[in-house]
Amino acid sequence: MPRTYTQTLDTPAYKGTVSINTGLFINGQFVDAVKGDAIDVYNPATGKVITSVAAGSKDDVDIAVAAAKKAYKTSWGLKVPGAQRGRLLSKLADLIERDIDEFAALESLNTGRPFTVSKALDMTTTIATLRYYAGFADKIQGKTIETSELKLAYTRHEPYGVVGQIVPWNFPLSMVSWKISPALATGNTIVLKPSEVTPLTAQKLASIVIEAGFPPGVLNIVNGYGPTVGQAIAEHPVIEKVAFTGSTATGRRIQEASAKSNLKALSLELGGKSPNIIFDDADLEQAVKWAARSIFPNGGQVCSANSRILVQEGIYDAFVEHFIAAAKSFEGAAGDPFELATQHGPQGSQTQLDRVLGYLDIAKKEGGTILTGGERLGDKGYFVQPTIFAGTNDMKAVREEIFGPVAALIKFKTEEEAIEIANDSVYGLAAAVFTENNARAIRVAHALEAGSLFVNNYNWLDNGMPFGGYKQSGVGRDLGEYALDTYTHVKAVHVNLGLRL
């Protein structure tokens, strides 16, 4: 039998007990992994092991897929009216809201993200996402299409059946909600792989799935490593669609596995090196605040972070002065996620810490000018100083995704130059424009090659707006009504009303 992990916390931000079952969640039950393997889970703020969770394998994925297929054929899919699916999603949201402090505490323990932020932002957006798609569950509609008086022609939007979902470690529960909400609303069953780095809130979610009323097998959660569980999901012949958020390199491997297996439908939200263009006429104070909050929080581990900041020469020096002050403010508020004053958390793992520090060394060797930061922060946990460096768009550290609290500053002269620099990237996830000139704002927003454009703000997302990338930042969309389309087939039905041969 799987064991239970329990810990009592007595901190300024949270006082209470957190508890999860550490097993795999398959067919409505927690079970041991077939091979009995386990994965250690670390607290990145301390570098110490929190607990271990069961590590699945291909065998466990096969069992989970069989459970999901049975549930789809017998107790879910189009056999369950959309209104009922919506009620269950709403109930799941209600239960997370009931236990919001415990969910937030587990998230902070596992990611190092400040508890106040985990609760006020991550948990509340998770709840809102579930409720948003709960409202769509009974509105999955096709069309009646005028063709001929002798024919009734219409379309149906039908679920794929069993879908696989692989989520990242930077926003664990929020990313789970982005994936499972539209999939369940449209009637699919799921085999979900959380990140092996941050599985705790997914484990907690599993414990309330049955309480919410979902039939066994509708949502299965299989922890494990990418090359084992992730690969098994990508290759499985019964899984008809895979949704993934993570690196572009892993996205390529999933595409390859899909092509070599059963040509799965894919939605891939991948890497980014997103530009933020700040013109001379921008509101300087606001531009600095938005830029800082879009690169330094969460240790800069945000796929759409404004990691390339293009500043027009007339405002450049003033921007640099205030931006450095903002970075130092975050650095001064680094520390324990359960302290109320903490704003700056650690990198998600030792691997990620090493990656960020490696890119900082590259930036220095390439001739980048470190304006602030540039080093590890302290000797406990996986902290990095909020860093700003001045560079050019041909530098490796400017072109490649670092996924840390590292902003590259690039000075530009003209609007045309800024657009050319911004678009000169293999990525196209997000971009921003700061200017008081509305015509310029819209003109530049339309010229930039990215899936999400922000004008005089950054990363101000909304459940009703789609999120996804151009170029090597992925295919398909999360969020909004657009996400529903990625979880359904469109069937065209042609009914003969009178044509005789």
Residues annotated catalytic, as ranges: 269, 303
C-alpha 68/C-alpha 77 separation (Å) is 11
Angle of helix 313-332 relative to helix 284-293, nearest 10 degrees? 50
The token pair that represents 279 in the structure block: 């013109």
Angle in degrees, CA 89, 95, 99, rounded to 5: 145
159 neighbors 240 (Cβ within 8 angstroms): no
Name residue 334's amino acid. Answer: A
Q: Is 216 exposed, middle or buried (0-12, 13-18, 19+ CB in 10 A)?
A: middle
C-alpha 54/C-alpha 284 separation (Å) is 50
Nearest to 269 by CA among 251, 294, 295: 251
45 neighbors 337 (Cβ within 8 angstroms): yes
433 neighbors 404 (Cβ within 8 angstroms): no
C-alpha 225/C-alpha 453 separation (Å) is 34
Phi first, then psi, for residue 461 (nearest 5°) are: -85, 165
Nearest to 104 by CA among 253, 204, 245: 204
Give the dihedral of Cα atoms 366, 368, 369, 372; nearest 10 deg. -110
C-alpha 418/C-alpha 494 separation (Å) is 51
